[in-house]
């Protein structure tokens, strides 16, 4: 059933309740319209945990991918890595813009992977997003898979764009595994996380509560890792495999696919269940449900096997094409 049909059904039920004096039992506003075909922006801290790189491989298969911005920069190295990956995937048409540098240097797993021939990428995230919005009609999809710093700067500088940007953000946790800390993306910039929640229009937050599970891991020598590492794999796959190997060697024997799940939610794929809640973000970036807070959509469940099936098929499809679309 389409969004329009669902909204008509909702309105019919409301009208019947009003006509017969019955309690109104259909909660909430209209179902959000489909954003299929709207330009897609991915905001990423790629170069640390390789789940960002996997998400970019999947996003590159979307014809609507129009801009990639980087955050928590490493002196521009994240943007150069993304530029190289997109070029190898055949998406030379997608601009990459280097965004906020938060001064962190620990999560760097692209050492030696980007040749000097890949030049410094331009900065100016606000102008790039404003230009994209000005050149298109209607909504623009924003999928944030790093700290929300760039988005907060866009919303502060151009508050009019809040009505245009359909925001899906990886971040926040209601029941984080360490109650004394916030989830990583919110912890890296709590002020930006609070701005996201208070200013974006009904953003979707894909919580660590939903994504932090071994059911969506890629591990060393798992099927995706073996396929990416094959001697006859295309250049983009070998780059991602080398990136994975640095992560496995330096940090953890697995990478959880938080960011690809966030991308799937941003593409309105039916893997992630969402519910409306009101939330607040404290000074440390911790997220709490509070009736006095801001209205958002929180992830409450996910179909992990179906999601992983989609991810595996998308990686296979990208590998079959080698480079290009």
From residue 3, alpha-carbon distances to 32, 43, 162, 231 in Å are 7, 27, 22, 46
Q: Is 288 helix (H, G, I), strand (E, B) or coil?
A: strand
> For the CA atoms of the chain, what is the radius of gyration?
20
Whether residue 143 is predicted with pLDDT greater than 60 in this model: the reply is yes
The alpha carbon torsion through 159, 166, 259, 250 (nearest 10 deg) reads: -10
Res 179: pLDDT: 86
Q: What is the mean pLDDT of residues 198-224?
A: 96
CB 273 within 8 A of CB 299: yes
Transcribe 91-141 into DSSP letters: -TTS-EEE----S--S----TTTS-TTSPPPP--HHHHHHHHHHTS-S-EE
Tell me the pLDDT of the chain averaged across its residues.
91
User: Rounded distance, CA 253 to CA 273, Å?
Assistant: 28
Res 199: pLDDT: 97
User: Rounded distance, CA 145 to CA 183, Å?
Assistant: 12
User: Rounded distance, CA 192 to CA 214, Å?
Assistant: 29
Whether residue 19 is predicted with pLDDT greater than 60 in this model: the reply is no
From residue 121, alpha-carbon distances to 69, 151, 236 in Å are 10, 19, 19
Res 27: pLDDT: 47
Q: Is 35 helix (H, G, I), strand (E, B) or coil?
A: coil
Res 269: pLDDT: 95
Q: Is 31 helix (H, G, I), strand (E, B) or coil?
A: coil
**Model pTM?**
0.89
226-261 burial: b if 16+ Cβ within 10 Å, else e: eebbeeebbebbbbbbbbbbbbbeeeeebbbbbbbb
Shortest CA distance to 323 belongs to which of 91, 89, 94, 92? 89
pLDDT band at 15 (very low <50, low <70, confident <90, very high): low
- Predicted confidence (pLDDT) per residue in 47-77, tens digit: 999 999 999 999 999 999 999 999 999 999 9
- Predicted confidence (pLDDT) per residue in 216-252, tens digit: 999 999 999 999 999 999 999 999 999 999 999 999 9
């Amino acid at each position: 059933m389409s969004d329009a049909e669902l909204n008509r059904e909702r309105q019919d039920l409301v009208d019947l309740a009003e006509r017969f004096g019955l309690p109104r039992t259909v909660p909430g506003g209209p179902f959000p319209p489909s954003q299929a075909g709207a330009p897609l922006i991915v905001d990423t801290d790629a170069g640390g945990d390789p789940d960002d790189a996997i998400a970019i491989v999947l996003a590159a298969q979307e014809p609507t991918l129009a801009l990639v911005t980087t955050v928590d920069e490493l002196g521009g190295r994240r943007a150069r890595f993304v530029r190289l990956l997109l070029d190898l995937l055949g998406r030379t048409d997608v601009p990459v813009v280097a965004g906020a540098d938060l001064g962190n240097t620990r999560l760097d797993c692209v050492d030696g992977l980007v040749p000097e021939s890949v030049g410094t990428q331009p900065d100016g995230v606000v102008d790039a997003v404003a230009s994209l919005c000005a050149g298109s009609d209607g909504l623009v999809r924003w999928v944030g898979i790093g700290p929300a710093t760039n988005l907060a700067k866009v919303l502060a500088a151009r508050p009019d764009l809040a009505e245009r940007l359909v925001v899906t953000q990886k971040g926040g946790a209601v029941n984080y595994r360490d109650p004394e800390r916030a989830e990583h993306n919110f912890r890296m910039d709590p002020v930006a996380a609070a701005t996201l929640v208070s200013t974006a229009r009904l953003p979707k937050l894909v919580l660590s509560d939903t994504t932090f599970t071994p059911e969506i891991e890629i591990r060393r020598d798992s099927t995706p890792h073996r396929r990416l590492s094959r001697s006859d794999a295309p250049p983009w796959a070998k780059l991602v495999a080398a990136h994975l190997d640095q992560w496995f060697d330096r940090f953890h024997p697995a990478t959880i696919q938080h960011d690809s799940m966030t991308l799937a939610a941003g593409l309105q794929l039916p893997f992630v269940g969402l519910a409306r809640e009101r939330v607040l973000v404290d000074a440390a970036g911790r997220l709490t449900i509070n009736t006095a807070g801001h209205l958002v959509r929180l992830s409450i469940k996910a179909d992990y096997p179906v999601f992983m099936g989609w991810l595996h098929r998308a990686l296979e499809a990208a590998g079959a094409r080698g480079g290009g679309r």
